[in-house]
Amino acid sequence: MTITQGSENIANPLQKSALYKKGLCDYVINVASGCIHGCTFCYVPSTPVIRARQPYLKDKGVNDPQMDWGKYLFIRKDLPEKLESSLVSKRVWHETPAGKGVVLLCSGTDPYQNKQTADITRMAVETLLKHNKRVRILTRGLLWLNDLDILVNPNVTVGMSIPYLNDTLSRQIEPGSPPPSLRFKALLEGRKAGCRLYVAVAPTPPQITLEDFIFYLDKILEIEPEVMFWEPINARGTNGKRMLAAGLDFIKPIMTKKTWAKHFIEQWEAFEKAANSTGCLERLHIWPDQELTGFVDSKILEYWWYKPTSEHWSDYENQEDLTNLRPSIT
């Protein structure tokens, strides 16, 4: 597969984010545009950011920035210098109760997908730690293991997206990513080194059952994650088109809003039951889509949109335990 590659400049690498509604962060940094992992389900190509940049990306040789996701990568080489300048001049640091002032690398690309992005990510993390910022890494890549000397830090948490433990299924859905078996092994190495860890159980395909979730959680608890995020595959819009183009016919039954919402709720119930069975319910953090409004009680949705995660950062060590107030989808 031919990859359209190059570099690009940006004005400010540090952007405020609404991802506090997923308990992830208050700021995001993206070290590149595009992502060569090319996960078929990825929501990023459908975001307003990519849609608004389609003319720009076409000028760089990308014919269809949404359907060609995985076939282009433009590195932001000047990011570390601009990040330093931004942090020096920044007077107010935004913190929400759920976002905790955390900076996420990355929301729109994988920070450790190749050596180029890994090098920039390392410099960005060093800069953020120099300014005493909290950092969240989210990746499917393995190169973060080369940076344990800086990632083993109380102000850093490293997470990997592992929606299942089936390497064969992974090759169908996320062909450009390292298989789940290697991601799990990487997390075990990170745990041994003393790294703070979490897992994104996302997005889970429709064939995952209660029994699958129980097996999964029993295994994933070996790495002692501080939190486990969860959401199912969204097969509507461009996401669904790319999955169908990849031959993933199993998503056909969940391509309408009604069937998608029904499936979301069913898997949500199964995931919570599995977590209760394996004794890790308090570590779960659900990512409910805003379009579940009308299908799920609004109090449950709002609880998850504004709830801090079970992770403890230095300023939040004594945060209120909301476990007993937790509403159940079941």
Q: What is the pLDDT of residue 50?
A: 83
Q: How far apart are CA 97 and CA 284, in angstroms?
A: 17
Q: How far apart are CA 257 and CA 56, in angstroms?
A: 31
pTM: 0.94
Q: Which residues touch 72 (CB under 8 Å, ≥6 apart)? A: 3, 4, 5, 33, 34, 57, 60, 61, 62, 65
* Segment 260-279 mean pLDDT: 97
Residue 237 confidence (pLDDT) above 80: no
Q: How far apart are CA 123 and CA 142, in angstroms?
A: 17
Sign of CA dihedral 75, 77, 80, 81: negative
Measuring CA to CA, which residue among 200, 203, 202, 207 is closest to residue 252?
207
Q: What is the pLDDT of residue 54?
A: 84
Question: Which of 235-249, 275-289, 315-329 has the lowest average pLDDT?
Answer: 315-329
Question: Is residue 20 a contact partner of residue 96, using CB atoms and an 8 Å limit?
Answer: yes
**Fold (topology level) of 4-320:** TIM Barrel (3.20.20)
Q: What is the pLDDT of residue 315?
A: 53
Residue 290 confidence (pLDDT) above 90: yes
Residue 320 confidence (pLDDT) above 50: no
Question: Is residue 230 a contact partner of residue 287, using CB atoms and an 8 Å limit?
Answer: yes
pLDDT tens track for 164-211: 999 999 999 999 999 999 999 999 999 999 999 999 999 999 999 999
Q: What is the pLDDT of residue 328?
A: 79
What's the angle, vertex CA 82, arms to CA 72 and CA 33, rounded to 5?
A: 10
Q: At what angle do helices 257-278 and 210-220 cross, to 10 degrees?
A: 50
Q: What is the pLDDT of residue 323?
A: 46
Residue 322 confidence (pLDDT) above 60: no
Question: Is residue 192 a contact partner of residue 221, using CB atoms and an 8 Å limit?
Answer: no
Residue 324 confidence (pLDDT) above 90: no
In the structure encoding, which two tokens stand for residue 273, read together?
């039951």
* Segment 245-270 mean pLDDT: 95
